[in-house]
Amino acid sequence: MGEDTDTRKINHSFLRDHSYVTEADIISTVEFNHTGELLATGDKGGRVVIFQREPESKNAPHSQGEYDVYSTFQSHEPEFDYLKSLEIEEKINKIKWLPQQNAAHSLLSTNDKTIKLWKITERDKRPEGYNLKDEEGKLKDLSTVTSLQVPVLKPMDLMVEVSPRRVFANGHTYHINSISVNSDCETYMSADDLRINLWHLAITDRSFNIVDIKPANMEDLTEVITASEFHPHHCNLFVYSSSKGSLRLCDMRAAALCDKHSKLFEEPEDPSNRSFFSEIISSVSDVKFSRSGRYMLTRDYLTVKVWDLNMEARPVETYQVGAAASKSRSPSERVTRFFPAPPPSASVIMTGAYNNFFRMFDRNTKRDVTLEASRESSKPRAVLKPRRVCVGGKRRRDDISVDSLDFTKKILHTAWHPAENIIAIAATNNLYIFQDKVNSEMH
Amino acid sequence: MEFKLEAHRIVSISLGKIYNSRVQRGGIKLHKNLLVSLVLRSARQVYLSDPCPGLYLAGPSGIPAAALPPPPQPGEPAAGEEEEEEEEEEEEMETGNVANLISIFGSSFSGLLRKSPGGGREEAEGEESGAEAAEPGQICCDKPVLRDINPWSTAIVAF
């Protein structure tokens, strides 16, 4: 079946020029930190790789703030739940950066069951001249010590140290799909398929359940939680999306258990659009607040929608992501979770699609462009050429026909720099970083 | 006729996916299985409501009754005829591997496959083809919708 086919394709794709892809290298999440200086990626093998933006230097004008590897560490290992005889995957589902409060950086990373808080520190000085220890650290023979010296700090090569500071375990029965740090910088929430828990960043042995949609009888299950996020400014508000396509805004001041929503955002289904797979394509794969907190961005199978928090009846904007005529298309992944990226200026929306394409929508001009993230189609520092997917009949030279779209190559994870027009696109095991050199790139 | 074939194909693929999800790493993914079950339910309803005469698909004789969903209670004489018809249709649907998959599949998400979720006795599947507005899957049996089945049916393959 699908996933297995993908695995087999990936494991057996022995290609030249280092294109051999191991499953563990598949990037599963991408996240910029709050300044955009650091970019963290998580992969299926449980590793986190952090990239740092190089400061622009006059000596090398071409390397205008490019990203280089800063640190790599193993965040999660595969585990085994003996009670249920289940293996727990080490794949990193989400990474969220904490706001920086001192010289160190902190991030939360989670797999299906356990959330970990990692602290990233730099060390570029080393004390030398100890009285009791020699250079290798061995204790000196005291009889050889004739005078006292004050140890001095000498510069050394930069060393990045990463250490796990907290492990938030055993909070979830189902698979964790999202985490979100509160604007109060003290609490965060983690959501699995049926429940959402509230944690304090300093307390690991306790968490509070704030949403529980598990039915008394599991056979009555019709809906699961697909994503959730705290409001960027109001520490009492959060939203969660469901597989039925609805968004629920909850206020933690109203009750300890927020099963009753404060607002329900749902677009009524157009009966004429009803199809065999209606329920599946309406499932929301991700929800994000805009930076202002006034709007929400959601992604379902075929569209990206912008919702105004003040209007529950329907989205204010809808953008079609798939090829124009969905009838002639054969989608092969139904629960593909595309994660849209809210941009700093809130005027352009980006989301991933199939065939390593990603789409950008300009909300002001209503124009959109399809771009491709692949080694073959773009050289480093070259300007991306827009791609066109044609449906049926007329086909221009460089067009891709909808039937030749590769549905195993999907861009699920994208991230936008918080301040500049820099985007990070994860395509299978490759990370692409694009910068906007000229403002009029959208055409 | 083609709808029946497609629906049958979708049902067997869906069951295969549900079975595979039980053996894959990381345990059962609730969201994915829920959506596959919804597809399964819709496909089953399309299959059973197709007015074409049933297509006999070769399968091992003497398929154990346990593999079929439990038949209605004996205290339903009116549904006798329908019962037979329904069992025949179900046998047609059960090729060897599908029968095995159903028995392995067990009762997971059977609430979605039952007519009335949340309790209530099992009702004859033949009755489902009546106009039951409460069942959303019924809308899928409209002709214009069914015309779109073929392109979409490949959606399930690489799920």
- pLDDT tens-digit series, residues A143-162: 888 889 899 999 999 999 99
Whole-number Cα distances in Å, A439 to A65, A261, A436, B60: 17, 41, 7, 67
Phi, psi of A107 (to 5 degrees): -140, 155
Q: What is the pTM of this model?
A: 0.74
Name chain B contacts of A224, Cβ cutoff 8 Å: 30-31, 34
From CA A406, how far away is CA A116, in angstroms rounded?
Answer: 35
Name chain B contacts of A87, Cβ cutoff 8 Å: 25-27
Name chain A contacts of B35, Cβ cutoff 8 Å: 243, 279-280, 283, 334-335
Q: What is the overall mean pLDDT for chain A?
A: 82
Q: Smallest CA–CA separation between A291 and chain B, in Å?
A: 29
Which has the higher per-residue pLDDT, B55 or A442?
B55
- pLDDT computed for residue A365 by the predictor: 76
The answer to whether A295 and A346 have CB atoms below 8 angstroms apart is: yes
Which has the higher per-residue pLDDT, A108 or A63?
A108
* Residue in A84, A243, A330 nearest the CB of B34: A243
* Least confident piece of the model among A316-325, A383-392, B49-58: B49-58
- Residues B24, A3: C-beta atoms closer than 8 Å: yes
Give the DSSP H or E segment for A128.
Answer: strand A115-128
A301 three-state secondary structure:
coil
- pLDDT computed for residue A177 by the predictor: 96
The answer to whether A70 and A105 have CB atoms below 8 angstroms apart is: no
**Could you report the per-residue pLDDT of B53-65, keeping only the tens digit for each?**
655 443 344 433 3
* Residue in A4, A219, A333 nearest the CB of B20: A4
Name chain A contacts of B148, Cβ cutoff 8 Å: 275-276, 327
Which range among B44-48, B50-54, B93-97 has the greatest average pLDDT?
B44-48
- Count Cβ neighbours within 10 Å for each residue of A284-294 and write b for 16 or more, e otherwise: bbbbbbbeeee
- The CB density around residue A16, as the number of other CB atoms within 10 Å, is 6
A89 at B interface, C-beta within 8 A: yes
Q: Return the closest-CA partner of residue A440 out of A386, A374, A380.
A: A386
From CA B41, how far away is CA B7, in angstroms rounded?
Answer: 10
Share of chain B above pLDDT 70, in %: 32
From CA A259, how far away is CA A398, in angstroms rounded?
Answer: 51
A224 at B interface, C-beta within 8 A: yes
Q: How many CB pairs under 8 A join A and B?
A: 128
Mean pLDDT of A325-336: 28
DSSP A387: B
The answer to whether A399 and A407 have CB atoms below 8 angstroms apart is: no
Query: How large is the greatest C-alpha to C-alpha distance in chain B, in angstroms?
Result: 48
Non-local CB neighbours of A11 within 8 Å, separated by 6+ positions: A22, A23
- Residues A276, B112: C-beta atoms closer than 8 Å: no
Query: Which pairs from B117-124 meet CB under 8 Å and 24+ separation?
Result: B117/A219, B117/A220, B117/A222, B118/A217, B118/A220, B121/B72, B121/B73, B122/B69, B122/B70, B122/B71, B122/B72, B123/B72, B124/B71, B124/B72, B124/B76, B124/B79, B124/B82, B124/B83, B124/B86
